[in-house]
Structure 1
Amino acid sequence: MSALLRRLDLLLTRLRWTISVPVVAALELLLAWGSHPHGLVVAIIAVLLIGAVLASVHHAEVVAHQVGEPLGSLLLAVSVTVIEVGLIVTLMAGGGSGTDSLARDTVFSAVMICLNGIAGGAFLIGAVRHRLAVFNPEGTGAALATVSTIAVLCLVLPRFTTSHPGPIFTGAQLTFAGLASLLVYVLFVLTQTGRYRDFFLPVAADGTVRDADQDGHADPPGIRSAVISAATLVLALVAVVGLAKVESGAIKDGVHALGLPDTVVGVVIALLVLLPESIAAFRHALGDRVQISLNLAYGSAMASIGLTIPAIAVASIWIDGDLVLGLDPTQIVLLAISLVVGTLTVVPGRAKTLHGGLHVVLLAAFVFLSASP
């Protein structure tokens, strides 16, 4: 047995960390599944979890480089949403306090982090590094309009409907909201990848699409082990979902030990699953490709609602208890001001440091009020 472990260790050291870490994380998942770890084991799982997230960023970008933009951004957004849906469903199935509103808290947290953290950080980095953050207002505006529509439909309207007491949809209303949000998301994807694809490509300072071969579209990507990266990406995502489920008990215990409300659990989950998007977006902003950063930010916000809500609606058939989707008044105010500031930022197609700073302040307000409502 020890000889086998030594051979496995030697094999892993020869592999790149982006491949070895997901493999080790998957093995750890097999060992820890169904347990409630404590102490050092929790720390080890956390390290492997973060490593698997970072590895997923690398492999998603390799595959994205193969398929080109904006499909690359779409791929990473969908990958992150798969993690989010898996985490929410497994945690809700486990039951416990706060699980009835876990989907709402996680989705809302993801939207606020995308609108203000990822997009705002990209605006700020782009403006500081290149004087102005330049992007295409037509494509970005369409993405923000889509996010606004499905966010209000799925997260705000349940607070004002009267067929069911409380911020909860009836079965028919939930079905409509799920189908409508999914339809809107699919319509946007067809727009982004079809006739209006160029609206979602990086632009130069004069507003023209960057295109070295002058064929009117993004330059073709190179081939870099796309098949291996796709397979490893799937493994990394499975490891992230499973290990996060294993860690969920420690996350809840930590939140309760600090005397924080259950909504903070949703914030932690959203921060975790959006880490790949954040890293990729900030990297593109540093390279003066703010449009790709915004594709990632708004695409992730869109997928968080447009894909998560339908999936949770289906899962609610087998999960006991109510599904709370309606936001609290404070959350509605934060969402509204984020959408207004985002719209005013997007319209000119150029953002200054001020715009990025405003979004970062809104993110800070969201985090603070989540911990101290």
Structure 2
Amino acid sequence: FQITGANLYLSVLFVLATITLDMPNFTLTAPGPIYSTAQLAVISVVTLLLYAVFLYTQTIRHRDYFVSGANEAAAHGEVMSDRETAISVVLLLVSLLAVVLLAKKFSLVVDVVTVKIGAPPAFAGLVVAALILLPESVAAVAAARKNDLQKSINLALGSSIATIGLTVPAVALAAYVLDKQLVLGLSNQHMLILLLTFMVSMLTFGTGRTNILFGLVHMVVFAVFVFMVFVP
């Protein structure tokens, strides 16, 4: 896979995760783990700006950084018609609407299951996050099984950036409108796991090639994170 593209993914992801999940614990204007109104507004704008510039870089300015050599010619040759683009946009909006409508009902099921099995409140968040990332995860695994690692990385890391880059500003706006306090800062335990993930990612994505051991290392980190949700 393209090292330059992977580095761009990681640099944006590391910055987004740090300023939204770690930095709130160390601010002085408001007691952690929250941002003050002014801080949250600035962080939201910066997050959206960084995500927008990343999309421009990925899709227009340096598109070749995110396309493997084997699929480069095919990727450049695929041009959607106006009709296909319009249909895709409509279907995307319909799908998003369906997700929003179902989320409210599904959250009740998750809450009931959480109480029934005696899981901590973080379990509900873990389930919701897994469902949100499920489509990209399935597609990423399918691409990896076909040995198309570039596509797999684009899906996996791209969805991670989008999750932070779009969710945090949206939730920040909702918190401001509803006059709610938004807690962003991670616990010390989760900050350590996030730091470990950063370090492992720099090593595993730094060569342009991957293998089963690199994948296992990431899965072990994820398994430890899930276990700590139940047994903190």
TM-score by length of 1: 0.59
Is residue 2:214 matched to residue 1:348?
no
From 156, 173, 183, the equivalent of 1:297 is 156
- SS of the residue 1:141 aligns to: helix
Q: Which of 2, 6, 9 is equivalent to 1:143?
A: 9
When the two chains are superposed, the root-mean-square deviation of aligned CA atoms in Å is 1.8
The CA distance in 1 between the partners of 2:79 and 2:180, in whole Å, is 48
Tell me which residue corresponds to 1:233.
Answer: 92
Residue 185 of structure 2, aligned match among 316, 322, 326: 326
For the Cα contact (< 8 Å) 1:203–1:291, is it kept in 2?
Answer: no
DSSP 3-state at the match of 1:172: helix
Q: Is the 8 A contact 2:64 2:72 kept in 1?
A: no
Show CA shifts across 1:320-370 (max 9, x none).
431100000011011111111011111100011110000011111111111
Aligned to 2:131: 272
Cα offset, 1:219, TM superposition: 3.1
Which AA in structure 2 matches 1:137?
I
State the alpha-carbon separation in 1 of the partners of residues 136 and 199 from structure 2.
23
**8 A Cα contact 2:25 2:34, kept in partner:** yes
Alignment of 1:145-160 (within 5 A): 145-160=11-26
Residue 310 (structure 1) aligned to one of 157, 169, 173: 169
Which whole-Å CA distance do the structure 2 matches of 1:192 and 1:154 have between them?
22
Tell me if structure 1 keeps the 8 A contact 2:204–2:210.
yes
Mapped pair 1:175 → 2:41: yes
Q: 1:244 to 1:212 in 2, by over 3 A?
A: same
1:219 maps to 2:77 = yes
CA shift, 1:229, in A, is: 4.8
Change (3 A) 1:248 1:158: same
Structure with the largest fraction of helix: 2
CA spacing shift, 1:236–1:186, aligned 2, 3 Å: closer
CA contact (8 A) 2:33 2:185 kept: yes
Question: Does 2:119 align with 1:253?
Answer: no
Structure 2 CA distance for partners of 1:250 and 1:297, relative to 1, 3 Å: same
* 1:287 alignment partner in structure 2: 146
The correspondence for 1:191, drawn from 35, 57, 75, is: 57
1:174–1:271 CA distance, 2 compared to 1 (3 A) = same
SS class of match (1:348): coil
SS in 2 for 1:350: coil
Is 1:338–1:362's contact at 8 Å kept on the other side of the alignment? yes
Distance change in 2, residues 1:172/1:228 (3 Å): closer
Can you give the 5+ residue segments of structure 1 that lack an aligned partner in the other structure? 1-134, 205-209
Q: Equivalent residue for 1:165?
A: 31
Matches of 1:250 and 1:136, distance apart in 2: 42
Larger Rg: 1
Contact 1:201/1:218 (<8 A) preserved: no
Tell me, in whole angstroms, the C-alpha distance in 2 between the residues paired with 1:301 and 1:222.
26
Native 8 Å contact 1:191 1:197 kept in 2: yes
Give the CA deviation at 1:194.
2.1
Secondary structure in structure 1 of the residue aligned to 2:52 = helix
Is this contact kept in 2: 1:137–1:347, CA < 8 A? yes
- The CA distance in 1 between the partners of 2:113 and 2:78, in whole Å, is 47
Displacement after TM superposition at 1:228 (Å): 4.2
Residue 148 of structure 1 deviates from its aligned partner by: 0.2
Paired-residue identity, %: 39
Report the counterpart of residue 59 of structure 1 in structure 2.
none
Which secondary structure does the structure 2 equivalent of 1:218 belong to?
helix
